[in-house]
């Protein structure tokens, strides 16, 4: 891995014909198109050609929907649920098809971002102004990505440049709860070079996340996030391109802690005033080339860091958790014939932990090789993949997947698929003092899925999925918060997404019904609602745009024993925009218009459980100025 770090310092890798890749100017252009997909097989393809159930948000979608955060955007996807522990900056549980956060892979510009100790995705810290595109794969994709991709894959692409004169981008927003979002960026390029450099600052006075707690917690929990991103690509020749991406988020979030702190001098529990300082960063470089007319290859090198320091103002104690990851991915895309194609690749990564908490092991590597064949015929298409992982701690892990696509006619496709996955326990799962369990085994999954994709009309498209995921040796915390392998968990579900345009209105409807169960106890898995619905409705009237969102979530349980119910809720939002001039745009939105009180997760205090407080009705006004330099 020392060679990898040295290469990252250079920003690029020497242009060797053996180190080429699938990235081309067409790949950068594809990031702005709604009907393309990159995450499915780490290469550009039409969404309709991918065997994965997927959702895509382009920058145009983000501007139209005006989400406050990335997690707000993800909550619109059928089969994706967010259980945030109160307010902006609160730790979110992200459940894709009933699997927990640690069982879904999060990528930023191709690099793994989850914390190696807790497996937290840190998606709550990614500023929405820094994002060009979001792709979400629902269902296992372990053959391509390895560990963690049991429930799905979330990939975030940071802002990109384009082939135009340098353009400045300034945005300022103010809203309820003392919130503000300010960003500035510059982007541009020509036929050979494209660039984007942007920075942003987000602040909020926040809400008091806990209703009942210690007196020291009875204040508003503020949040501050500074972000910087850079993206650069350059075409060396018609066949070779190199690039560099970097992202850094730093800031502070205030926490409430219902558990308190044990004071040995008084033999009692007292309150805390907790502040978490975070520093999340990643840097990656790639080189790609078209080696021959039928052989395309891509090499990516990456380094990411998750550093967190938690302070208690009522004591001198400081807890730090820092994890570092080096990664490499080499993928070759071979077009054998007009009908047969092959993906052959290898990847490796190493995680290291440096923290104030002593772990019995503080580093681990994983190396893998994978191959996937695709046949695309007139009457059916198939995909068959196999992956072998060698994990330093858990040895060999083999996964495979297969899919069959049958076009019923020009407008209707039926897909059958099977996929396997695994997840290695995190350092916290294994070694965290008092709560870790060094005897844990990796989780393994088997997923079965039936999809129907239909172009109902020129302006209407329906995508539905019926699936089942069986997880063996699922890792959950017992009543004493010690991590254990349970015998098995099963998630069965149905999801449907309808996209339609009618009378000038653009609508997106997502529905999901799931049954996530511990097969031994029969209990519903914690913080998974059985039914969710999301509806977005928008229309553009010349320079004026209007829109509305409705989200409904059914009740759930906070715990695995199903003794702590969480009530369901429904949220209504309105939004509008006005293009005052070619360079100036105004946005206005109202979230939780009906001023509902709701919660997504519970906390414990004095033996009772209470819901984390979320923001009630809130308003935000923003202005964006994009002059051409």
Give the pLDDT confidence score for residue 613 in this predicted structure.
87
* 12 has pLDDT over 60: no
- Taking Cα atoms as reference points, which of 511, 324, 535, 425 lies closest to residue 100? 425
Question: What is the average pLDDT across 557-563?
Answer: 91
Q: Over the chain, what is the mean pLDDT?
A: 89
Give the pLDDT confidence score for residue 362 in this predicted structure.
93
Give, in order, the Cα–Cα distances in Å from 368 to each of 4, 304, 500, 554: 16, 19, 42, 40
Question: What is the average pLDDT across 350-373?
Answer: 94
3 sits in which H/E element? helix 2-10
Question: What is the average pLDDT across 30-45?
Answer: 92
**Burial (CB count <10 Å: 0-12, 13-18, 19+), residue 446:** middle
Lowest-confidence segment of 104-113, 134-143, 216-225, 424-433 by average pLDDT:
216-225
As a whole number of angstroms, the distance between CA 122 and CA 448 comes to: 29
pLDDT one-digit tens code per residue, 590-619: 999 999 999 999 988 777 888 888 999 999
Q: Which tops the pLDDT comparison, 64 or 90?
A: 64
pTM of this prediction? 0.92
| Radius of gyration for the alpha carbons in the chain, expressed in angstroms and rounded | 24
* 222 has pLDDT over 90: no
Structural domains of the chain in order of their starting residue, each with its CATH number = 2-625 (2.40.170.20)
Give the pLDDT confidence score for residue 477 in this predicted structure.
83
pLDDT one-digit tens code per residue, 80-121: 999 888 878 887 889 999 999 899 999 999 999 888 888 888
Give the pLDDT confidence score for residue 313 in this predicted structure.
67
**Burial (CB count <10 Å: 0-12, 13-18, 19+), residue 400:** middle
Give the pLDDT confidence score for residue 272 in this predicted structure.
57
Give, in order, the Cα–Cα distances in Å from 619 to each of 66, 111, 444, 575: 12, 34, 44, 10
pLDDT one-digit tens code per residue, 284-326: 999 999 999 999 999 999 999 999 998 876 667 788 889 999 9
* 142 has pLDDT over 50: yes
* 208 has pLDDT over 90: no
* 215 has pLDDT over 80: no
Percent of the chain at pLDDT > 70 equals 92
Query: 73, 127 in Cβ contact below 8 A?
Result: no
Question: What is the average pLDDT across 212-229?
Answer: 81
Give the pLDDT confidence score for residue 459 in this predicted structure.
92
Query: 436, 461 in Cβ contact below 8 A?
Result: no
- Taking Cα atoms as reference points, which of 466, 468, 460 lies closest to residue 496? 466
Query: 536, 574 in Cβ contact below 8 A?
Result: no
Query: b vs e for 406-437, b when ≥16 Cβ sit within 10 Å of the residue's Cβ?
Result: eeeeeeebebebebbbbbbbbbbbbbbeeebb
* 6 has pLDDT over 50: no
* 411 has pLDDT over 90: yes
Q: Kindly give, in sequence order, each residue whose CB lies less than 8 Å from that of residue 31, ignoring residues fewer than 6 positions away.
A: 38, 58, 132, 133, 157, 160
Give the pLDDT confidence score for residue 69 in this predicted structure.
92
* 11 has pLDDT over 70: no
């Amino acid at each position: 891995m020392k060679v990898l770090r040295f290469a990252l310092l250079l920003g690029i890798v020497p242009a060797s014909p053996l180190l080429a890749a699938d990235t081309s100017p067409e790949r950068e252009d594809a990031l702005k198109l709604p009907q393309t997909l990159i995450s499915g097989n780490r290469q550009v393809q039409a969404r309709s050609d991918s065997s994965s159930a997927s959702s895509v948000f382009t920058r145009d979608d983000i501007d139209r929907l005006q989400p406050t955060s990335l997690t707000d955007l993800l909550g619109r996807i059928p089969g994706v649920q967010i259980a945030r522990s109160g307010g902006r900056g609160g730790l979110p549980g992200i459940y894709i098809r009933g699997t927990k956060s640690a069982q879904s892979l999060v990528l930023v510009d191709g690099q793994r971002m989850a914390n190696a100790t807790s497996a937290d995705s840190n998606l709550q810290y990614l500023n929405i102004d820094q994002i060009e595109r979001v792709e979400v794969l629902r269902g296992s994709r372990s053959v391509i990505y390895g560990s963690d991709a049991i429930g799905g894959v979330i990939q975030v692409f940071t802002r990109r440049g384009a082939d135009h004169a340098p353009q400045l981008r300034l945005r300022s927003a103010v809203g309820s709860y003392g919130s503000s979002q300010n960003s500035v960026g510059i982007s541009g390029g020509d036929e050979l070079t494209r660039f984007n450099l942007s920075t942003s600052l987000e602040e909020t006075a926040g809400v008091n996340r806990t209703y009942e707690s210690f007196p020291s917690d009875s204040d508003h929990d503020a949040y501050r996030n500074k972000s910087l991103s850079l993206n650069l690509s350059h075409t060396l020749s018609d066949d070779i391109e190199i690039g560099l991406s970097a992202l850094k988020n730093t800031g502070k979030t205030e926490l409430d802690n219902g558990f308190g702190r044990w004071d040995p001098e008084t033999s009692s529990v007292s309150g805390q005033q907790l502040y978490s300082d975070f520093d999340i960063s990643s840097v990656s470089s790639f080189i790609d080339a078209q080696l021959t007319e039928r052989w395309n290859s891509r090499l990516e090198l990456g380094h990411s860091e998750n550093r967190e320091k938690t302070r208690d103002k009522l004591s001198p104690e400081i807890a730090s958790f820092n994890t570092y990851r080096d990664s490499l991915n080499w993928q070759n895309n071979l077009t054998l014939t007009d009908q047969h194609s092959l993906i052959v690749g290898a990847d490796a990564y190493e995680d290291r932990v440096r923290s104030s908490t002593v772990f019995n092991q503080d580093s681990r590597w994983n190396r893998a090789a994978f191959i996937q064949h695709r046949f695309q015929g007139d009457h059916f298409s198939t995909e068959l993949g196999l992956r072998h992982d060698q994990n330093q701690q858990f040895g060999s892990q083999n996964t495979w997947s297969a899919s069959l696509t049958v076009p019923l006619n020009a407008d209707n496709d039926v897909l059958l698929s099977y996929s396997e996955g695994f997840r290695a326990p995190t350092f916290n799962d294994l070694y965290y003092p008092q709560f870790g369990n060094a005897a844990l085994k990796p989780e393994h999954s088997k997923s079965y899925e039936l999809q129907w994709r239909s172009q109902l009309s020129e302006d209407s498209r329906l995508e539905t999925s019926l699936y089942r995921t069986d997880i063996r040796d699922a890792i959950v915390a017992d009543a004493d918060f010690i991590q254990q392998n349970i015998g098995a968990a099963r998630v069965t579900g149905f999801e449907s997404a309808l996209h339609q345009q009618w009378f000038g209105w653009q609508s997106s409807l997502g529905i999901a019904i799931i049954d996530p169960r511990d097969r031994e106890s029969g209990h519903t898995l914690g913080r998974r609602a059985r039914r969710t619905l999301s509806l977005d409705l928008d229309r553009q009237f010349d320079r004026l745009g209007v829109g509305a969102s409705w989200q409904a979530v059914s009740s759930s349980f906070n715990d695995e024993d199903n003794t702590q119910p969480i009530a369901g809720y429904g949220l209504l939002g309105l939004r509008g925009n006005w293009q005052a001039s070619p360079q100036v745009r105004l946005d206005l939105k109202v979230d939780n218009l009906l001023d509902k009180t709701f919660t997504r997760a519970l906390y414990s205090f004095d033996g009772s459980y209470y819901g984390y407080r979320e923001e009630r009705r809130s308003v935000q006004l923003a202005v964006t100025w994009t002059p051409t330099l």
